[in-house]
Chains A and B, each alone.
Chain A
Amino acid sequence: MERKLISARCGVINPLSIDDYIKTGGYVALRKALRMERIEILEEISDSKLRGRGGAGFLTSTKMMGLAKESGPMKYIVCNADEGEPGNFKDRFLIENDPHQIIEGMAIIAFATRANHGYIYVRGEYDHAIEVLQWTLLEARKHKFLGNNIMDSDFSFDIELRSGAGSYVCGEEFALIESIEGKPGRTRVKPPFPTSIGLFGKPTLIQNVETLVNIPAILTMGGKAYSKIGMPNCTGTKLISLSGNVKNKGVYEIPFGISIRKVIFELGGGIENNKKLKMVQLGGACGPFIPEYMLDMLIDYERFEEFESKTGAGAIIVVDDRFDLFDLMLRVVRFFEHESCGKCTPCREGHAQLVILLQKFIDKKASMKDLISIESLARVMHQTALCGLGQSSPTAIISTLRYFRDEYIDRCDIWTN
């Protein structure tokens, strides 16, 4: 069931050895790219129908074309390695086990879009990943895969490492840009989008770690061949961070189109300690909770969009029946209350009120009016917040109001107005 396209080297090679990487086909794609016309590379990516793996699922080629079209002497490629979403650990897995892939992917994109400088913004808490990347950058530079005249071509490109101070919202692209610029991590008003005015006011392409490592794979096998993997509109493979009350926790690479049930029960080996599965949270803390009867849903961006949320980061958090839905939601909402940047009203004030309302349900003191209030507030936050954080954080509540509504009503004091 697994299809190892981007994680094939993980656990096999010594991640700190550039020789290991080169021996297993590393930097072949970059060498190939440097001999291609830039437009050919863009076409290959376009043919592959690759979508961003950070969560939003935006077509990578569209973003790349956007950057390629921009003129001007300075253009940036930024690798978003600020993996802070609870339940997600696939980017760390990639960095720690096969770091050169990221560099190679960034260099290819930079060459294709005529970008001159790159940043890897890595989560501040990822101490080991940071050390690995530092070493990897040194090695890549030493072997002329970075720096001036890469592989003796006339193409020059280098990458710097940056990390934040632990703020979750810095994974949001504009907050990330602000953070690299040395400012507090708060988003900006869109449009303009980063591809036109981004880092230091210059055109900037931001891609998730997993998206970037797909680039060498696509160039190696060809965009058309790549597009045959997975689903028609959702091509390639996806790394799944499987965690919670499941036997075999870890990162798995599967082609799109596998059901959630198969991932949990076949790859994950089922529920721990012979407990019963109660629900699953998809994507991470900002994703929906779904009940057992929905597990046959296939992993596919198109299906995930049903939840009106960006749940494509690839986490599956399994929860067994010992756990209380409202305790979990309170944790989720408290997390976002803490991580909200405070800039826009719905997110800043909304989370504080969601905590109060949830507490009423936990204390069984909620009224039917509170049920309407929490539903309305969650929807308004989803529809009006300035950035992805506030737009997606109410998903847990919105989804449970849909699939676990009875549990809300059971906790209402129906004798109170």
Chain B
Amino acid sequence: MIQLKINNIELSVPEKTTILNAARMNNINIPTLCYYPDLGLQSDCRICVVEIDGQKGLATSCSTKVREGMVVKTNSPRVLNARKTITELILSNHDANCTACPKNLKCELQSLANKLGIDQNRFEPVLRVKPIDTSNPSLIRNPNRCIKCGRCIDVCKNVQGMNVLELMGRGHDAEITPAYGRFLSDESCTYCGQCASVCPVGAIIENDETDRVWKQLHDKDKTTIVQVAPAVRVSLGEALGLPIGSIVTGKLVTALKLLGFHYVFDTDFTADLTIIEEGHELLHRVTNNGVLPMITSCCPGWINYAEQRYPSILSHISTCKSPQQMFGALAKTYFTKIIQKEPKDVIVVSIMPCTAKKYEAKRDEMKSDGIHQDVDIVLTTRELSKMLDQMGVDFAKLDETPFDNPFGITTGAAAIFGATGGVMEAALRTVYEVVNHQPLESIELTEVRGLDGIKETSVELGGNVYRFAVAHSLSNAKTLVDQVSNGTSPYTFIEIMCCPGGCIGGGGQPYGTIQKTRRDRIEATYLLDQSMPLRKSHESPAVKEIYRAFLGEPLGELSHKLLHTHYHSRQHT
């Protein structure tokens, strides 16, 4: 342990602790801007500077480790003046039209300026207005708000291994952009949105479609249907004042009804359906010498990655559509028939933890009638929380309502789709039983749970032992995909989720996601699973019913048409 003094308080902290963490552990708050727990150290905003006795200049507390006998001042006049000056400098080159920014009141720069008491800026505005990148349906990049903190570069490079964003140019012309100042759509951006989830200001943000949803909700000629992804029910609460990891399924349904949706359905239903289709596809590939390993297809960020960077392995990816798109296809065919409406009069909205889902919904393949998109509008968890704020709902006080039928009864297997390893676990719960004609000894496959980057397990099916692997975040996925690509993969089935932690850590989730948040959301996910009366997809009565009443059999003709898709190379040169 190291003894030091911060603001005249004697502290004892473990070796190698940074001054910032030493202070925070002892309830002394040092403001930061570029620093983000779990990400690499940028140390370039210089906001967190402190004064250290005997040292010339000021030191950044995020990067300076404690030393025995150190005497630190975090709020001396010199420090406060430096912090204020630096914040004014940032604001002098920032589009500070706060009320016109979607990040208003959630902006870390705004909050910092407030805390430092900056009510006017000594420095001249020097912003040179640059064009806004609206090249894609998922993410909007507004360079005029960018403060060059570098978090987006770090998450894109080091967590996702993508290197789409980089600090280009130098001096005052420095700018964070894709290479050569191109658009995100010109690069192999997967639209995972991890950059948006760590951006302290409104420089990268999801394409806000809340106004489009309001318009449809108020259109008397439209029947509005909403589906909610598994990961949203364990994260929405925290954006609306509840503790992290709160399970808010019932309140969420009530809130969506209050917004005016005619039908509130559960994407968990098509998650169960995905298990049936994907499980059968796996068995078909195994028994017919098909292409193996098979890789999951639920995650649109992963699909974007594969189509752009690994077109040679597309045949390994399950042809199953994602649960969102299976839902859209059934809503615009099966369900429109039940309610006797035309697809053009039915609006399907998804609430997703994800920004890439916005792109997925707009793919050409996703039109069951050949004309209308199966899913019309995708909102992120954050956008939904914004709509609820706009409506003035006191979310914590809402009653609980069950999902509507026929897409409302679901299983614990679907509930865990949102956590990394969840799809694998859900699939094995079903596949094991289908092949071995007996249930798994323990249906909880703990080997594939948790936040290790790559997890693996092996299971005996029909007398043979098969190996399975799970990866989350694209840098981990790359390890497994490289094996597939060079023919050395020892696995039969691989689950890949693009975001760290899986969908619970998605790019559309409430701001401030760190490792602890992911852990709490995952814990809630497994609690939800435990609380469900049914925990295997093939036991779902709703799934059985849709095969009986509509689809026929898994991998059947109608399934093939509505629930499966194909991929194509989109490699950039």
Please report A residues at the B interface, Cβ cutoff 8 Å. 167, 169, 184, 186, 189-191, 308, 337-346, 348-353, 356, 369, 373, 376-377, 380, 382-386, 391
B123 at the interface (CB under 8 A from A): yes
Known: A353-B126, A383-B78. A342 touches B174 (CB 8 A): yes
Per the bound structure, the CA–CA distance linking A342 and B92 in Å amounts to: 15
Contact of A343 among B44, B123, B172 (CB under 8 A): B44
Q: Which residues from A are CB-within-8-Å of B148?
A: 342-343, 345, 348
Residue from the list B81, B93, B172, B174 in contact with A380, Cβ < 8 A: B81
Contact of B57 among A342, A345, A382 (CB under 8 A): A382
Residues of A within 8 A of B286 (CB): none
Measured in the bound complex, the distance between the Cα atoms of B63 and A350 in whole Å is 22
CB-CB under 8 A from B92, the residues of chain A are 349, 352-353
| A348 vs B173: C-alpha distance when bound (angstroms) | 8
Query: For chain B, what secondary structure do more than half of its interface residues adopt (helix, strand, loop), or is it mixed?
Result: loop
Contact assessment for A341 and B46 in the assembled complex, using a CB-CB cutoff below 8 Å:
no
| CB < 8 Å neighbour of A340 from B41, B46, B171 | B171
Contacts of A353 in B (CB 8 A): 89, 92, 123-124, 126
Q: Could you mark each residue 419-452 of chain B with 1 if its beta carbon is under 8 Å from any beta carbon of chain A, else 0?
A: 0000000000000000000000000000000000
User: Bound state CA distance, A190 and B43, in angstroms?
Assistant: 9
Q: Mark B146-185, 1 if CB is under 8 A from A, else 0.
A: 0110100000000000000001011111100000000000
- Do A386 and B82 contact each other (CB < 8 Å), given the known contacts A186-B167, A353-B124? no
Q: Which residues of B are in contact with A by a Cβ distance under 8 Å?
A: 41-47, 49, 56-58, 60, 63, 65, 78, 81-82, 85-86, 89-90, 92-93, 122-124, 126, 147-148, 150, 167, 169-174
Chain B proximity of A371: nearest CB distance (Å): 12
- Name the CB-closest residue of B to A342: B174
Across chains A and B, the number of contacting residue pairs, with CB separation under 8 Å, is 111
Chain A residue with the shortest CB-CB distance to B173: A342
| CB pair B171 A341 closer than 8 Å | yes
Classify the interface of chain A: helix, strand, loop or mixed: helix
Contact call A344/B81, Cβ cutoff below 8 A: no
The reply to whether A189 and B126 contact each other, CB–CB distance below 8 Å, is no
Output the least CB separation between A182 and chain B (Å): 14
| CB–CB B57/A343 < 8 A | no
- CB of B126 within 8 A of CB of A383, answer no
B78 cross-chain contacts in A, Cβ below 8 A: 383
Q: Which residue of B lies closest to A347 (CB)?
A: B171
Q: Separation in Å of the B181 CB from the closest CB of chain A?
A: 14
Q: How far is the CB of A43 from chain B (nearest CB, A)?
A: 28
Q: Is the CB of B170 within 8 A of A383?
A: no
* Contact among A344, A346, A349, A376 with B93 in the assembled complex (CB-CB below 8 Å): A349
By a CB distance below 8 angstroms, the chain B residues around A352 are 92-93, 126, 172
Most buried by B among A382, A383, A385: A383
20 A-B pairs (CB sep. < 8 Å) = A186-B167, A189-B43, A191-B63, A308-B56, A339-B170, A340-B172, A341-B170, A341-B174, A342-B171, A343-B150, A343-B167, A344-B46, A345-B46, A348-B172, A376-B85, A377-B85, A383-B49, A384-B57, A384-B82, A386-B43
A339 CA / B172 CA spacing, docked (Å): 9
Q: Which residue of A lies closest to B49 (CB)?
A: A384
Contact yes or no, A344 B44, CB < 8 A: yes
Compute how far the CA of A362 lies from the CA of B85 in the bound complex, rounded to whole angstroms.
23
In angstroms, Cα B46 to Cα A20, docked, is: 52
Whether the pair B170, A391 counts as a contact (CB closer than 8 A) is no
CA A383 to CA B60, docked complex, whole Å: 10
Residues of A within 8 A of B90 (CB): 345, 349
Q: Which 7 A-B pairs have the closest CB atoms?
A: A342-B174, A349-B89, A340-B171, A189-B43, A380-B85, A344-B44, A383-B57
Knowing A353-B89, A356-B126, A377-B85, say if A189 contacts B173 (CB, 8 Å).
Answer: no
CB-defined contacts of B171 to chain A, threshold 8 Å: 337-342, 348, 351
